[in-house]
């Protein structure tokens, strides 16, 4: 059993922290909105703290799953940040999708403080978090990762170190780039089927068993056809992630024409009032266009 802190109890972090507590670890949680932490403790047991620093005090591992670069900095650094409460040798594991820049910054700050730091963004959506079936892509020192891996495996289907610090975040960018194109392709296929007068469900039943099959197709086509977009990863967050991808591509010279185009389609969805709809709402945009 390890002493753990978990910072950030959103749709992903809440069940992830629950898996850790259920596995027998001693978990202390922190959330910016304290009522969410109170609800978690009432449901799972464990403890809560009013600041990241107090949550992290005495912890062997501190896990985070917050919103963006600024959110991550706020829970890590400063007088009330987790780094100030962690003991030398403790390890910080960040599950947030953020820029490589902030990862490099915090990795260096952690190293200077005698702490380990692993960037470990996740994929698998809310269902993956709830079922403990997340894919976790990691960057960081090999020895630090080896210590953190058994903890992450509590809620992982696959957990792998890709390379040095920042490699996890760069791999997550690859994930989001692939998803953007897949969801647009699936949306266009369903839209085309509707316009051709075909039964979309029958079409997917056949094509999903061949080369066109994908996780997105298997898990999203029915809700897309039912005009239901109130679950899964929100468009606002996807645009945040795609901005990271596109900014990084400008730095490393990668060409991402499809990603840039789909990002603008998601901007259209936001203008439709769909910022909190899930990413499969690209199909709703096509239906609106007629």
**Predicted pLDDT at 208:** 97
Contacts with 227 (C-beta within 8 Å, 6 or more apart), sequence order = 284, 287
The whole-number average pLDDT for the span 67-76 is 97
Q: List 139's β-bridge partners, or say none.
A: 119, 163
Topology of domain 170-289, CATH: 1.10.1040
Pairing between β-strand 156-163 and β-strand 134-139 as defined by DSSP bridges: parallel
pLDDT value, residue 11: 93
Mean pLDDT of the chain: 97
For the chain, list the strands marked E by DSSP. 3-7, 26-30, 47-48, 61-64, 91-94, 116-119, 122-123, 134-139, 156-163
Catalytic site residue from 3, 111, 157, 172: 172
Contacts of 32 (CB under 8 A, 6+ apart): 8
H or E element at residue 143 = helix 142-152
Percent of the chain with pLDDT over 70: 100
The model's confidence at residue 231, banded by pLDDT at 50, 70 and 90, is confident
Answer yes or no: is pLDDT of 219 > 80: yes
Q: Are 26 and 48 in contact (CB under 8 A)?
A: no
What are the beta bridge partners of residue 91?
Answer: 61, 116
Helices 100-112 and 69-76 sit at what angle, rounded to 10 degrees?
10
How is residue 143 written in tokens? 């020895």
The per-residue pLDDT for 154 is 98
Extract the tokens encoding 206: 């056949």
pLDDT band at 290 (very low <50, low <70, confident <90, very high): confident
Closest CA to 9 of 21, 35, 25: 35
Q: What burial letters (b/e) apply to 75-94, b meaning 16+ CB within 10 Å?
A: bbbeeebbbbbbeeebbbbb
Say whether pLDDT at 76 is over 90.
yes
Domain boundaries, the chain: 3-164, 170-289
The model's pLDDT over 16-26, given as tens digits with 9 standing for 90+, comes to 999 999 999 99
Beta carbons within 10 angstroms of residue 193's beta carbon: 18
CATH 3.40.50.720 fits 3-164, yes or no: yes
Other CB atoms within a 10 A radius of the CB of residue 72 amount to 25
Whether the Cβ atoms of residue 289 and residue 265 lie closer than 8 Å to each other: no
Contact present, 232 and 125 (Cβ < 8 Å): yes
* pLDDT digits 0-9 by tens, 194-206: 999 999 999 999 9
How far is residue 178 CA from its own chain's centroid?
15
What does the pLDDT look like over 108-141, one tens digit per residue? 999 999 999 999 999 998 999 999 999 999 999 9
Q: Is the pLDDT of residue 232 over 90?
A: no
pLDDT tens by residue, 26-54: 999 999 999 999 999 999 999 999 999 99
- State yes or no: is 195 an active-site residue: no
Mean pLDDT over 183-193 rounds to 98
Q: Degrees (nearest 5) of the Cα angle 279, 280, 284?
A: 115
Please indicate whether residue 184 or residue 290 has the higher confidence score (pLDDT).
184
Q: Above 80 in pLDDT, residue 5?
A: yes
Pull the structure tokens for residue 195. Answer: 């316009």
Mean pLDDT of 155-163: 98
Cα separation, 223 vs 160, in Å, equals 31
Quote the pLDDT of residue 86: 98
The tens digit of pLDDT for each residue in 241-266 reads: 999 999 999 999 999 999 999 999 99
């Amino acid at each position: 059993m390890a002493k753990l802190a978990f910072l950030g109890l959103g749709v992903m972090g809440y069940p992830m922290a629950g898996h850790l507590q259920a596995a027998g670890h001693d978990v202390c949680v922190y959330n910016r909105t304290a009522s969410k932490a109170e609800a978690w403790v009432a449901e799972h047991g464990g403890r809560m703290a009013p600041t990241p620093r107090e949550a992290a005090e005495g912890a062997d591992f501190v896990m985070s799953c917050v919103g963006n670069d600024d959110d991550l900095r706020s829970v890590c650094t400063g007088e009330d940040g987790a780094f100030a409460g962690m003991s030398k040798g403790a390890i910080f594991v960040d599950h947030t999708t953020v820029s490589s820049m902030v990862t490099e910054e915090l990795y260096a700050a952690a190293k200077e403080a005698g702490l380990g730091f692993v960037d470990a963004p996740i994929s698998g959506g809310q269902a993956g978090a709830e079922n403990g079936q997340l894919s976790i892509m990691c960057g960081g020192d090999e020895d630090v990762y080896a210590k953190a891996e058994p903890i992450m495996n509590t809620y992982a289907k696959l957990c792998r170190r890709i390379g040095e610090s920042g490699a996890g975040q760069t791999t997550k960018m690859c994930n989001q780039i692939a998803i953007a194109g897949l969801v647009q392709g699936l949306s266009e296929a369903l839209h085309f089927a509707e316009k051709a007068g075909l039964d979309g469900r029958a079409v997917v039943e056949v094509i999903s068993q061949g080369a066109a099959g994908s996780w997105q197709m298997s898990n999203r086509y029915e809700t897309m056809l039912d005009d239901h977009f109130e679950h899964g990863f929100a468009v606002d967050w996807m645009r945040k992630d795609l901005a990271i991808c596109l900014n990084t591509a400008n730095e490393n010279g990668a060409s991402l024409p499809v990603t840039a185009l789909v990002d603008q389609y998601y901007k259209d969805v936001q203008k439709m009032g769909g910022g909190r709809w899930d990413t499969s709402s690209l199909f709703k945009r096509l239906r609106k266009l007629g």
